[in-house]
Amino acid sequence: MPNVGPMELIVVLAIALIVLGPKKLPEVGRSVGKGMREFKDAISGDHDRDDRDEDDERPALRSE
């Protein structure tokens, strides 16, 4: 497989900027990053991140 150098990355980013536009590009980047993170967690079997997210949604219990 050929190496991807800096010039190829610049060309890909320029094409993405032209196709998606400057307003949509950050949103797409976040979506891709989130998808890659979820995929990595699913492959490695790391479900701690999901457990912490669920804990944050529940209200805290007070012990009085």
pLDDT tens-place string over residues 1-49:
678 899 999 999 899 999 989 889 889 989 999 999 999 999 988 665 5
Domain boundaries, the chain: 30-57
| Residue 50 pLDDT exceeds 90 | no
- Give the pTM: 0.51
User: pLDDT at position 49, please?
Assistant: 53
User: pLDDT at position 56, please?
Assistant: 53
CB neighbour list of residue 41: distance below 8 Å, 6 or more residues apart: 47, 49, 50
Q: Which of 27, 51, 47 is nearest to 37 (CA)?
A: 47
User: pLDDT at position 47, please?
Assistant: 62
